[in-house]
Amino acid sequence: MAQRRDTTVLEGLAGDLESGYGAFVRAHADDVYSAALRLSGSRADADDIAQETFVRAYRALRRFDAERLRSLEARPWLHTITLNLWRNRLRAAARRPRTAPGDRHGDVADGRPGPEDAAVAGEASRALVRLLAQLPEHQRVPVVLRHVVGLSYAELATVLACPVGTAKANVARGLDRLRVLGRADAAGATGAETR
Amino acid sequence: MTSARPRDGSPRAARPVPVGTAALRRLRAEAPAAFVESVLDRLGLHAGDRFVVMAGPAGDVFVAFNDSGISAVVPAARFDGDAARFAEHHRRTAGRAVAAAARPPAGLEAALRTGRARRLRYDLSGLSPFERAVLTKTLEIPPGEVRPYGWVAREIGRPRAVRAVGSALGRNPVPVLIPCHRVVRSDGHVGQYGFGVSMKRALLSAEGVDLERLQRLADAGVRFIGSDSTGVFCVPSCHHARRIRPAHEVPFRSAAAAFVAGFRPCAHCAPASGRNAS
């Protein structure tokens, strides 16, 4: 479904980039923003990174010819840009240490209609975001892109520039690591009494 | 295969954080509300609507549209064809800027020519669910036919909301295309129109509605026409009703009278509720 929508949006771009770009941004905004949010852990950073992704994408698309536009795999292409922007930011941040870390992990209650018990779900999600932040980058990126954003393994392999098998393995290792972290978290919490 | 269900096997676990793929999926987020507009602003792309001037069935019209669909139709004569005045009007009514487009959206020209505009996409985002329901139903009325206000009310499941239907049609942002001019009073009068009754009559005449015949029938108290060869009854403007030979025409003052006479409602024009009955 996402695929089908993709092609029509791209047809629109091939026809008229200026007027079709709004639909293109709308079609991919949630994907790109989610990736940026769960990688960076901050809403403000995510907004910046995601906006910048689409600004850069537009400048690149302007140089594409119609043929290249039609064959473009928009999702992996956009996420490659997002990933690069995020990494650049990490590097820049490492060079000038920040005094105020801001909201490192981002809040989770998205205002999205939660299931029955939104409070519990929000609590669980917050904990999961905390665990996700503890994953090393080479596992966090595949887990976020595959399971939060919903890229296919083929798309993920394109973003990571690695074979599909490697992408799958990295996702699996990331999930295993999350589970280990989750158990450690729960065990640590028993002493301190959660909530 | 890697779908991890939260393990609650560990005896000491207080409440393990669910780390499965379902939990991760819930971390997906929506981009902030103004996200798309911010991006388009930064790129200097026009974030508002665009418009074209097109020949309509009763004179030129300004047609505004955006990514979601067609957002406004206004007769050009209302602004003496002045695009700047139309833009000002659009900014006020739709709350968005509007700039000239290089070309019309696909299908618009054909829709204006044929009066069949159901396939076009519309931006009805500023309207209430009730108003949208009224307009969506109205879009089903084919060119050359008319329906009473009460028909729309009944078809959207709000049979008592006849006046509200009239008001909703009066706020139709995309007249001509969404054919609110095809909704008329059941007494044969064409009823109100945002751009004047004479324009409503012109639009209906242009698509072949015989207003005099409809008025004559209404004056005689005839609301429906049946065919004694098919046993089906229609609203008088239904294209099936117009094909009934005079010798076979059976006029009815009410749907009840038609039912009593053993007629069933036409499946095309749905002259009465229970269109699926029999």
pLDDT digits (tens, 9 = 90+) for B102-158: 789 999 999 999 999 999 999 998 899 999 999 999 999 999 999 999 999 999 999
**CA B87 remoteness from chain centre:** 23
Please name the residue of chain A whose CA is at the shortest distance from the CA of residue B23. Answer: A125
Interface check for B98 against chain A (CB to CB < 8 A): the answer is no
Q: Say what the pLDDT of residue A69 is.
A: 83
Please indicate whether, in this complex, the C-beta atoms of B14 and A178 are within 8 angstroms of each other: no
Distance between CA atoms of residues B87 and B108, nearest Å: 20
Q: Say what the pLDDT of residue A15 is.
A: 64
CATH topology of domain A1-95: Rna Polymerase Sigma Factor; Chain: A (1.10.1740)
Q: Say what the pLDDT of residue B13 is.
A: 44
Please indicate whether, in this complex, the C-beta atoms of A150 and B28 are within 8 angstroms of each other: yes
Decide whether A1-95 matches A118-195 in CATH topology: no
Please indicate whether, in this complex, the C-beta atoms of A21 and B40 are within 8 angstroms of each other: yes
* A77 contacts: CB under 8 Å, gap ≥ 6: A57
Listed by start position, the domains of chain A span: 1-95, 118-195
Is B234 part of the annotated catalytic residue set?
no
More confidently predicted of B15 and B273: B273
pTM over 0.90: no
Residues of B in contact with A111 (CB under 8 A): 30
Q: Which CATH superfamily does the domain covering B222-278 fall into?
A: DNA Methylphosphotriester Repair Domain (3.40.10.10)
Test mutation, B1, B17, B25, chain A, max A CBs within 10 A: B17
CATH architecture for segment(s) A118-195: Orthogonal Bundle (1.10)
Domain B49-114, CATH class in plain words: alpha beta
Backbone conformation region of residue B175, classed left if phi is above 0, alpha if psi is from -120 to 50, else beta: beta
Interface check for B42 against chain A (CB to CB < 8 A): the answer is yes
Q: What is the pLDDT of residues A109-146, one digit of tens each?
A: 443 433 334 455 577 788 899 999 999 999 999 999 99
Residues of B in contact with A50 (CB under 8 A): 31, 35
Q: Say what the pLDDT of residue B186 is.
A: 83
pLDDT for B191 beyond 50: yes
- % of chain B at pLDDT higher than 90: 72
Residues of A in contact with B26 (CB under 8 A): 121, 125
Q: Among A16, A34, A131, select the one facing B29 at the smallest CB separation.
A: A34
A82 is written with which tokens? 């997002």
Q: Say what the pLDDT of residue B274 is.
A: 56
Q: By the 8 A CB rule, do B241 and B223 touch?
A: no
Listed by start position, the domains of chain B span: 49-114, 124-217, 222-278
DSSP state of B105: P
Q: Among B16, B32, B42, select the one facing A55 at the smallest CB separation.
A: B42
Mean pLDDT of the B253-269 span: 95
Distance between CA atoms of residues B17 and A182, nearest Å: 5
Mean pLDDT of the B8-20 span: 60
* Helix ranges (DSSP H) in chain A: 2-15, 17-40, 43-61, 66-71, 74-95, 118-134, 137-143, 153-160, 164-192
Q: Provide the chain B residues 172-231 that lie in CB contact (below 8 A) with chain A.
A: none
Please indicate whether, in this complex, the C-beta atoms of A26 and B67 are within 8 angstroms of each other: yes
Give phi and psi for A57, each to the nearest 5. Answer: -60, -40
Residues of A in contact with B46 (CB under 8 A): 18
Instruction: Please count the other Cβ atoms lying within 10 Å of the Cβ belonging to residue A180.
Output: 12
Intervals of chain A under pLDDT 50: 1-5, 99-118, 192-195
Q: Say what the pLDDT of residue B68 is.
A: 85
CATH architecture for segment(s) B124-217: Orthogonal Bundle (1.10)
Please name the residue of chain A whose CA is at the shortest distance from the CA of residue B16. Answer: A186
The kind and range of the H/E element at B166 are helix B162-170
